[in-house]
Amino acid sequence: MSRPDVLLAEESLNVYRGHGEPKARLEQDITEARWVLERLPELGISIDNVTRQLEDEGVEKFNKPFDKLMETLTQRSQRHLKSGS
């Protein structure tokens, strides 16, 4: 069920439900993570470009439901003001 007041992308939530395992991981395998990051340029991968793309896509997925929420709030507030309630 989709709700206009929920800002988390439903697609992201469904993927996490199917594959997510919540636990603290920020400090897990730091040495390996650094090694992988250092080798990305050798594979022609720019972490800056990947980060920028993920950020842009995330903002876009947030903006669409947020804009819909704002539109709904505007419509409801206008109705409320017109009804005098």
Is the pLDDT confidence value at 3 over 50?
Answer: yes
> Cβ(15)–Cβ(7) under 8 Å?
no
Q: Across all residues in the chain, what is the average pLDDT?
A: 85
CB 80 within 8 A of CB 16: no
Is the pTM higher than 0.85? The answer reads: no
- pLDDT tens digit sequence for 29-57: 999 999 999 999 999 999 999 999 999 99
